[in-house]
């Protein structure tokens, strides 16, 4: 098999349940990808990540190229071996983080020159270099190098940025080395403008990618606009290729996007929240720092199968959170990733049963 | 069975290999007890602690009485249930930490009045209250309330402090509620004076405890003096009762103390070192922050069975340590506790084989 296989097993409205076939196994979709920024999903062992139900993780090109370095990881056997993660890996292109984290950025037609936020060292990231780094890492899914358009921005700026992203997409595609089970996704930009989103989608499809991401969203535009941009993009993407909404999101964002035809998600929310005492549960979101949990013998979520819920009380998790113990981050991250993984299981089951219209999160209006 | 059972299975010189029998299982001795200060062995799940081979952990009365509170833990089912640790628990008396951490301490015949280092709240710790707190926690092994004599100190001060500790030992013993599988240990103080150590040991034996600790050491007096004080105490302790050297130590300290008749140890070294990038290995101690590990594909310790050694390279652990990732603390703590647990396995085997005299650590002179 060349490229990434994608089988659709069930449909319900715009939503699809399927399987993504990669060099590191099949991934049931819709899928949530835990974020493993620096070659580790924070506060989790790889075994622990797999136990949540995750089959694919995301790693960050920008962070890894700076530390420990892409060539070093390649010499050490690639990212799967380095981080001891046998499942699939999607790497981002570095475009988003170079613009949000790096110092002294200089954006040009060729790419972005910048200085490392860690040590001030000078680097150049181009479409070709981004794809080469992702190859060195051994990513199952490579992302085309893009410019994540800021929000808000004038239409002219958005248009110019989108046009640059499309030229970079063409260069990224050309630089990608085809291998069985490995693929490259293009990224639809276009800000909050329906027509730019459509144009970007059509141009990317003309280039031809293994999958299509919708980027530059969930950066402050609000859920209604996010959904509107998904609706402006999806109809112009191939039905037989996976669709990935980047950086999304809260459980309700994911449910809404799945209803609109999205197959893949990533977000730091479950992991980051886990490190700040927040837990997603079937009864809604809990802040474990709240004193009302101090004497509560019940688990976080009675229906959850995770290590936090099967072994510990809310009172204990409150204590760990207040005492800033590492175990609080470990248990709450495991719980939140399990919650997200189980949400995806439930969404896939709802699609297979043709009952996605009836799907409700805790506290969500019917 | 009332009290803590202790069976000696083998002897080699002064050293003994045996089993401690508690309400939460048998513990092979010599034993190392990981420190679980605030009802968690830092950066470890209870399953992970058990997987290292540890059968007993230590928890801190001072920390737990302040947060979340002993009565609260009792209402939540006791410390074993609260922290989900099915093995045995030894609690310290609070004496050491009240003197090192609390504010505005006022020491008197009755006990110590102090203010919490967390919120300034006022508390009184007496022998009776310390034993009651340890009962509320559900400790398998309770420690008598003592004053840990500072080092250095004038002989008169040491003598007065030891005498106070002996009066408190008597009150602690009287306050202890006998239950099957639960016991109370007395603590030998006496600074660096042979005759005071002997006197303290003899007086404690006259009171009668389930086991005997040697306290007030490993606080700057140096290994030779620590060993000398063990030698000054052990001959005056019953041969059929467990002996516990508090707060010790480095692997070489443990080996030397086992040779001198000690059965139990606790120390923050393996856990604290794990959080600062230091690993104990069969080839000596490694600092994972050192750049020489950056490209090293080998495991920390080729003979180690821990999750860090079975899944990851020194290069990856170096990367995690440099990036200050939580997983660095998790993996290195698991490794160091496994190293300590395996050291105790090896010491027990050497005693059983009558070959303790030949026992050598990496880098230790024959």
Do B67 and A323 contact (CB within 8 A), yes or no? yes
Q: How far is B38 from chain A (nearest CA, A)?
A: 8
Please provide residue B154's backbone torsions phi and psi, each rounded to the nearest 5 degrees: -65, 145
Contact: B323, A295; criterion CB under 8 Å: no
pLDDT digits (tens, 9 = 90+) for B167-196: 999 999 999 999 999 999 999 999 999 999
Tokens 């399987």, residue located: A19
* B2 pLDDT tier (thresholds 50, 70, 90): low
For residue B312, the chain A residues in CB contact (below 8 A) are 84
Chain B residues contacting A, CB < 8 Å?
A: 38-40, 42-47, 67-68, 72, 75-77, 82-84, 275, 294-295, 297, 307, 311-313, 315-316, 318-320, 322-323, 325-327, 329-331
pLDDT at B75 over 60: yes
How far, in Å, CA of A343 to CA of A337, rounded?
Answer: 10
Annotated active-site residue in B92, B140, B146, B253: B92
pLDDT digits (tens, 9 = 90+) for B111-125: 999 999 999 999 999
How far, in Å, CA of B278 to CA of B271, rounded?
Answer: 10
Annotated active-site residue in B140, B263, B266, B301: B266
Model ipTM?
A: 0.97
The tokens for B71 are: 């009565």
Q: Which of A231, A232, A281 is nearest to A257 (CA)?
A: A231
Contact: A331, B47; criterion CB under 8 Å: no
> Which of B272, B319, B322, B335 to mutate: most A Cβ within 10 Å?
B319
Identify which of B84, B295, B325 has the shortest CB distance to residue A75.
B295
Q: Containing H/E element for B285?
A: strand B284-287
pLDDT digits (tens, 9 = 90+) for A16-33: 999 999 999 999 999 999
pLDDT at B316 over 50: yes
Looking at residue B329, its pLDDT comes to: 98
pLDDT digits (tens, 9 = 90+) for B139-159: 999 999 999 888 999 999 999
The distance from CA A33 to its chain's CA centroid, rounded to whole angstroms, is 5
Q: How many CB pairs under 8 A join A and B?
A: 108
pLDDT at B39 over 90: yes
Please provide residue B191's backbone torsions phi and psi, each rounded to the nearest 5 degrees: 55, -135
* A1 pLDDT tier (thresholds 50, 70, 90): very low
Q: How far is B132 from chain A (nearest CA, A)?
A: 20
* Secondary structure class of A70 (helix, strand, coil): helix
Looking at residue A2, its pLDDT comes to: 67
For residue A307, the chain B residues in CB contact (below 8 A) are 45, 47
User: What single-letter DSSP state applies at residue B110?
Assistant: S
Rg (CA), chain A: 20
Mean pLDDT across chain B: 96
Pairing of strands B25-29, B5-12: unpaired
Do B293 and B315 contact (CB within 8 A), yes or no? yes
Chain A residues contacting B, CB < 8 Å?
A: 38-40, 42-47, 67-68, 72, 75-77, 82-84, 294-295, 297, 307, 311-313, 315-316, 318-320, 322-323, 325-327, 329-331
Q: How far is B87 from chain A (nearest CA, A)?
A: 14
Q: B78: alpha, beta or left, given left = phi > 0 and alpha = psi -120 to 50?
A: left
For residue B83, the chain A residues in CB contact (below 8 A) are 316
Q: Evaluate the omega torsion of the peptide bond into residue A68 and state whether it is cis, within 30 degrees of 0.
A: yes
How far, in Å, CA of A77 to CA of B256, rounded?
Answer: 42
Looking at residue B100, its pLDDT comes to: 87
Residues of A annotated as catalytic (active site), given as ranges:
92, 266
Task: Report angle CA A184, A190, A196 to the nearest 5 degrees.
Answer: 110
The distance from CA A39 to its chain's CA centroid, rounded to whole angstroms, is 14
Contact: B319, A45; criterion CB under 8 Å: no
For residue A322, the chain B residues in CB contact (below 8 A) are 67-68
> Which of B65, B68, B320 to mutate: most A Cβ within 10 Å?
B68
Q: A13 Cβ partners below 8 Å, 6+ apart?
A: A259, A356, A357
User: What single-letter DSSP state applies at residue B165?
Assistant: H
pLDDT digits (tens, 9 = 90+) for B327-365: 999 999 999 999 999 999 999 999 999 999 999 998 665
For residue A331, the chain B residues in CB contact (below 8 A) are 45
Identify which of A84, A295, A330 has the shortest CB distance to residue B311.
A84
Contact: B68, A294; criterion CB under 8 Å: yes
> Which of A34, A76, A320 to mutate: most B Cβ within 10 Å?
A76
Q: B304: alpha, beta or left, given left = phi > 0 and alpha = psi -120 to 50?
A: beta
* Secondary structure class of B52 (helix, strand, coil): helix
* B104 pLDDT tier (thresholds 50, 70, 90): confident
Q: Average pLDDT, stretch A283-295?
A: 97
Q: Which of A360, A297, A307 is nearest to A336 (CA)?
A: A307
Least confident span in B45-49, B98-102, B235-239: B98-102
Looking at residue A251, its pLDDT comes to: 98
For residue B64, the chain A residues in CB contact (below 8 A) are none
Q: B103: alpha, beta or left, given left = phi > 0 and alpha = psi -120 to 50?
A: beta
Contact: B294, A44; criterion CB under 8 Å: no
Do B130 and B93 contact (CB within 8 A), yes or no? yes
Q: How far is A63 from chain B (nearest CA, A)?
A: 10
For helices A127-137 and A155-175, the axis angle rounded to 10 degrees is: 50
For residue B307, the chain A residues in CB contact (below 8 A) are 45, 47
How far, in Å, CA of B261 to CA of B272, rounded?
Answer: 26
Contact: B38, A294; criterion CB under 8 Å: no
Do A360 and A343 contact (CB within 8 A), yes or no? no
pLDDT at B366 over 60: no
Identify which of B43, B75, B320 has the shortest CB distance to residue A326.
B43
> Which of B40, B80, B311 to mutate: most A Cβ within 10 Å?
B40
Question: Looking at chain B, which residue has its C-alpha nearest residue A39?
Answer: B320
> Which of A78, A101, A326, A328 to mutate: most B Cβ within 10 Å?
A326
The share of chain B scoring above pLDDT 90, in percent, equals 94
* B99 pLDDT tier (thresholds 50, 70, 90): confident
Pairing of strands A264-266, A211-214: unpaired
Q: B272 Cβ partners below 8 Å, 6+ apart?
A: none
Helix %, strand %, coil % for chain A, to 5? Answer: 40, 20, 40
pLDDT digits (tens, 9 = 90+) for A58-82: 999 999 999 999 999 999 999 999 9
User: What single-letter DSSP state applies at residue A249?
Assistant: -
The tokens for A108 are: 């040009």
Identify which of B40, B323, B330 has the shortest CB distance to residue A325.
B40
Do B140 and B91 contact (CB within 8 A), yes or no? no
pLDDT digits (tens, 9 = 90+) for A119-133: 999 999 999 999 999
Sheet holding B112-115, edge to edge: B103-107, B112-115, B122-125
Contact: B315, A76; criterion CB under 8 Å: yes
pLDDT digits (tens, 9 = 90+) for B261-282: 999 999 999 999 999 999 999 9
pLDDT at B297 over 60: yes
For residue B327, the chain A residues in CB contact (below 8 A) are 40, 42-45
Please provide residue A233's backbone torsions phi and psi, each rounded to the nearest 5 degrees: -100, -45
For residue B72, the chain A residues in CB contact (below 8 A) are 294-295, 315
pLDDT at A234 over 50: yes
Q: Is B240 an active-site residue?
A: no
pLDDT digits (tens, 9 = 90+) for A308-360: 999 999 999 999 999 999 999 999 999 999 999 999 999 999 999 999 999 99
Identify which of B38, B72, B307 has the shortest CB distance to residue A45.
B307
Question: Looking at chain A, which residue has its C-alpha nearest residue B41?
Answer: A327
Looking at residue B103, its pLDDT comes to: 82
* B1 pLDDT tier (thresholds 50, 70, 90): very low
Q: B276 Cβ partners below 8 Å, 6+ apart?
A: none
């Amino acid at each position: 098999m060349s490229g990434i296989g994608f089988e659709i097993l069930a449909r319900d409205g715009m939503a699809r349940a399927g399987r993504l076939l990669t060099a590191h196994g099949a991934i049931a979709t819709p899928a949530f990808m835990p974020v493993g920024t620096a070659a580790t999903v924070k506060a989790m062992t790889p075994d622990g990540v797999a136990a949540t139900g995750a089959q694919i993780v995301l790693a960050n090109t920008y962070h890894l190229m700076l530390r420990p370095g892409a060539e070093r990881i390649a010499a050490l056997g690639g990212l799967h071996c380095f981080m001891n993660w046998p499942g699939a890996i999607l790497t981002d292109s570095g475009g988003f983080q170079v613009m949000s984290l790096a110092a002294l950025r200089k954006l040009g037609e060729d790419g972005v020159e910048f200085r490392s936020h860690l040590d001030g060292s000078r680097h150049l990231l181009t479409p070709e270099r981004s794809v080469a780094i992702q190859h060195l890492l051994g990513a199952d899914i490579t992302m085309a190098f893009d410019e994540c358009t800021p929000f808000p921005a004038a239409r002219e700026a958005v248009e110019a940025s989108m046009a640059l992203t499309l030229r970079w997409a063409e260069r990224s595609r050309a630089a990608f080395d085809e291998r069985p089970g490995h693929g490259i996704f293009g990224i639809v930009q276009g800000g909050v403008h329906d027509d730019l989103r459509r144009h970007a989608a059509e141009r990317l499809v003309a280039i031809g990618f293994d999958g299509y991401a919708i980027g530059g969203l969930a950066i402050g535009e609000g859920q209604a606009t996010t959904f509107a941009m998904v609706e402006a993009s999806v109809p112009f993407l191939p039905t037989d290729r996976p669709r990935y909404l980047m950086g999304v999101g809260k459980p309700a964002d994911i449910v809404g996007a799945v209803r609109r035809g999205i197959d893949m998600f990533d977000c730091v929310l479950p992991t980051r929240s886990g490190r700040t005492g927040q837990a997603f549960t079937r009864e809604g979101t809990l802040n474990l720092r709240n004193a009302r949990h101090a004497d509560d013998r019940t688990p976080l979520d009675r229906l959850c199968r995770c290590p936090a819920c099967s072994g510990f009380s809310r009172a204990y998790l409150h204590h760990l959170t207040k005492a800033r113990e590492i175990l609080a981050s470990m248990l709450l991250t495991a719980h939140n990733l399990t919650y997200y993984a189980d949400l995806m299981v439930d969404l896939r089951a709802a699609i297979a049963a043709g009952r996605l219209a009836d799907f409700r999160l805790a506290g969500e209006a019917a």
